[in-house]
Structures are given as C-alpha cells and as structure tokens.
Amino acid sequence: MRALVKDRAGPGLRLCEVPTPTPAAGEVLVRVLRAGVCGTDLHIYRWDAWAARTVRLPLVPGHEFVGEVVATAAGTGGLLAGQTVSAEGHLVCGDCRNCRAAAPHLCPRTRGLGILRDGVFADYAVLPATAIWQHRPGVDLDTAALFDPFGNAVHAAHTFPLRDKVVAITGAGPVGLMTIPVARHFGARAVVVVEPSPHRRRLAECQGATITCPDSADLAGALRDLGRCDGFDVGMEMSGHPMALTELLAHMSHGGRVVVLGLPDRPVPTDWADISLRMLTVQGVSGRRIFDTWHQVTALLDAGIRPAAVITHHFPADDYATAFEVATSTMAGKVMLVWSTEPRTGGRT
C-alpha cells in the first residue's frame, strides 16, 4: 500500500510502498478515504524542536480521517466490514485511575495516533476497536473526516458557559474557525477573532465572527467598539503564539475565563500575581472528552452547524507535497488529502 512515511530526521515526508498492516486481536483494518492535514502533522513535516524530541522514527503521521472498515480481528465487538468510521486520536490505556473513573481524556499514558503510533496517511490503517467511532449511514465524508478537529473546537467552547458572554478567540486556523459558530450556538453575545492573515479573517467573518482584528494588540479597540470597558468574559487561545496568550490575558475582565488549546513552541512568561488579583481562570484543553464530545459533535451537526465550510483545498494523496505547502501558508483553511475516491457503502462524497 501507499503511505506517507517520516523515516529520517529533517523536513519532509516520503510517499512509499509499504506492507499492508494486519489487525491483531482487538483491532480493525480501515481503508482511509480522506485525511485532514493538522497542525501536528505540520510540526512533524517541518521536523521542528517539538517533533525532534517527541517522534520516534520511522512513523506514518496523520490522525484526522474518515475510512471504511475492511477487516476485523477477534474482540472488536459489533464492528463490521463496510462501516464508515473515524477514530479517537488519543489512544488511552483503559487501566489508569482516570480511565477507570470515566475521564479517559485525562489518561497520563495517552499515545497519539500518528505521533507515537502509525497513523492514517496511508491507504490502510490498523486501529484499536476501542478508539473507533462509527458514523451514521449517509454521512458526508468531509464532515466525517473533521470529527477530530471539530471535536477540539467543541471541547474548547464547552469548557465555560458562553451564553450572553463576550468572547475573544486568538487564531483563525481550522480549529479556531470551527469554534466561532459553536460559540455562537452556545449563546455568545459577540465573538472577536484575532488573526493576522486577511484570508483567514474573511473565513472567520463567514463563520460568524462579530469583529476580526489583525493583531492581538487590537483587542482593546474591539472592546471599545462593543461598548465594553472591563474586558472579555471568555478567551480562547487557539494559535499557539506566545504573544497572543499574553495579550489575551491582559484583555480579560476580572473573573474572566481563558481556554488554552494552542501549543506555544517556547515558554510564555506569565504574571501570576495579575492572574491572582484579577481572579482569572486558565484552563488547558487537549483533544476531546472521550467519547462525550463526539456525541456533542453529532448533536451540533443536527443543529445545522457545518464544520466542512472550513475546508478550502482537496489534494490527491500523491500530491502531498503541494498539500503540505498550502497547509503551511496562511491562504488556506483545512486541507484534505484524498486517499480513495471510490464510492463507499456507508458514506457519500
């Protein structure tokens, strides 16, 4: 089968022919149909400091996908060939205190699909049955491929109550963009988005942003435009840029609440005395609440939210180099790799 392989330190990936994997007990073999390029994949592609200290080579990256079950081993429950599925990319141990207390998203032994275990940038992938999410028949394949990143947006937006709140989002990458309509659905009175890329600011406006700003230093002006003199009620840091987090904290109201999903590439100096005196709450968010968030995603789709609107490009898997170049630019939303265009029994194109 074809697979995108990271087999050497340094920038890039290679499209190789590798053996098709065989599922062991408790695993399923999935034919990958579409796979999204995530920020994590870009870290691995560029081979930055985070990737160099985290990833063990060789590796097949990728974790956002939709596929079709083609084979199952023993102990896979009711999973059957032909079902359209995605998978939870945080593979948990199932035995630790948090897993056994119905909080697997807090598992300290979590292994990332496509990071510490071969992922889905391939024609086929083997996955634990316990991580599989079975989609409803007729699911739109683009939407199904986004359950993982859309779940990030839903998890972040569901952290604090948003009804009647004035919300700031720093970073309009794909997850930041998908967070905007979710925040509005949860009742946010206004959503201000900070994003330096004009293209992504336009996408943010299409997603329902009240005000867009090119720089986090412009948050004060956005507050004045909204008639607020005391800061934002809720902030969501989605960019991973250290200055964005600093500016966001500075523009929160007393008692404000901040969600941090973006991953800075270096330590961020923080005035903890200021956080204490203004009684701010800072909550880190990673991934999804397994599988509660996935059910919330389904409910939001039923309510009419369309995360696939953030997809701006599709590329055949063989053209992965162009796909990664576009994904790295600021002229794209979500970039999707198409591994198979064959009609499937459970999904539609």
Spot the catalytic one: 43, 155, 158, 251: 43
**259 contacts 180 by C-beta, under 8 angstroms:** no
Q: Is the peptide bond before 291 cis (omega within 30 degrees of 0)?
A: yes
Q: How far apart are CA 139 and CA 152, in angstroms?
A: 20
**62 contacts 114 by C-beta, under 8 angstroms:** yes
Active site residue 43: yes
Q: How far apart are CA 281 and CA 197, in angstroms?
A: 29
Spot the catalytic one: 40, 130, 179, 293: 40
Residues labelled catalytic: 40, 43
